[in-house]
Amino acid sequence: MAVMVGTLLSITIFILIYLVLKRKNERKLNEWREQLSGALQTAIFFENEGSTQATIPLTFKTIRGLKHPGFRQLLIDELVLGKKSLTGTAASNLVLLFNQLGLDKLSLQKLNSRRWHIKARGIQELAVMEQRQLVTRIYRLTNAHHELVRMEAQSAIVQLYGFEGLRFLDIIDTPISEWQQITLLRLLARMPGIQSEKIANWLSSGNDSVRIFALKMVAEHHLHQLHDQVIPCLHHPHPPVRMQTIRSLKEIYTETTSNPLIQVYSTQTIPCRLTILDLLGNIGSPDNGAFLSQQLADREDTLKLGAARALIQMGDVGRQYLDDFPLSGEYPWNEIFQQAKTEQTA
């Protein structure tokens, strides 16, 4: 009982002391932040005329502050933040300051850590601060066991080497999460040098997530030249791959896309079928009218609506198919057709 009450009091006192210390720490951080903003401004506007050997002048207070580990970490955080939002000379100067103060060694220490979150932080800092000399070490981690370390290493390599950095896709045996794919696509969007031959290879990868990612790149960069290599993915055994194939074809379709889609239609899942109908609507070829008209009789109402929407997109020919449909006056077709027509005029 006495132990319990003692513990209770101790935790309460600990919480209160913690709050006081936290406030004190926040005040200190704000002071440091103000101090650092001066140093960062000096670095951003420093004119080094392209030299990597130049030294950015710093105040005595800043140099003295570097003795404190908290100050050094705050400086790294501010440099990383600044580097992410700046380009050109200003960004290069921040890298220069990072190297000048030997902060790269601190990030390297983190990279060497055995704790995953510290290692991942190190990778992130080194990549943003363009420490290319460590690329081999980071590259090895693109297939690391820990997911977050792996993700940070993959992002780092792409940040440092753009599309070339994606060569880890040739070797990884772990899945790339959809979240990571979105991150990589965003990084790649800012970089030139997309190589369609490489993407074509990944379209036949044994790793489904690599294949899906390649399909997303085809769509994102409108790689029409890969149309014929994308089509075989419609026969992939896994529905997510097939779904992404159809979505990607939506961005690169030609007049020949309809036939393979119609051929595989009956073997697809309902969401895949719905996406095919949507794509056929986009293609808008009158040749698909008869096929779409058949789908109006499907048992699944969602597919009826999908087919009606596709026919409406076809124009007058498609509208005629709807009007000629024998059950067009009956429920649910009357409501479905009406919705499809209203959507078109909206």
Asked whether 126 and 134 are in contact (CB, 8 A), the reply is yes
Length of the chain (residues) = 346
| Sign of the four-CA dihedral 96, 85, 36, 78 | negative
Beta strands in the chain (DSSP E): none
Q: Contacting another protein (CB under 8 A), which of 142, 159, 209, 258?
A: 209
Asked whether 231 and 225 are in contact (CB, 8 A), the reply is no
- Interaction of residue 273 with another protein, rule CB under 8 A: no
Cβ count near 215 (within 10 Å) = 27
- Interaction of residue 237 with another protein, rule CB under 8 A: no
Torsion, Cα 75 77 80 82, to 10 degrees, reads: -70
Amino acid at 221: H
Q: Contacting another protein (CB under 8 A), which of 63, 182, 317, 327?
A: 182
- The token pair that represents 195 in the structure block: 């190589």
- Restricted to residues 106-165, the positions that interact with another protein (CB under 8 A) are 116-117, 120-121, 124, 147-148, 151-152
- Interaction of residue 5 with another protein, rule CB under 8 A: yes
What's the closest the beta carbon of residue 322 comes to another protein, in angstroms? 13
- Interaction of residue 169 with another protein, rule CB under 8 A: no
Asked whether 39 and 58 are in contact (CB, 8 A), the reply is yes
The 58-97 site mask, x for binding another protein (CB under 8 A), equals: ----------------------------------------
Amino acid at 24: K
Can you state the angle between helices 88-100 and 2-44, rounded to 10 degrees? 120
- Interaction of residue 339 with another protein, rule CB under 8 A: yes
The 292-311 site mask, x for binding another protein (CB under 8 A), equals: ---------xx--x------
Amino acid at 32: W
Q: Contacting another protein (CB under 8 A), which of 186, 222, 224, 238?
A: 186
What's the closest the beta carbon of residue 304 comes to another protein, in angstroms? 9
User: Which parts of this chain interact with another protein (CB under 8 A)?
Assistant: 1, 4-5, 7-8, 11-12, 14-16, 18-20, 22, 116-117, 120-121, 124, 147-148, 151-152, 174-183, 185-186, 209, 216, 271, 301-302, 305, 332, 335-336, 338-339, 341-342, 346
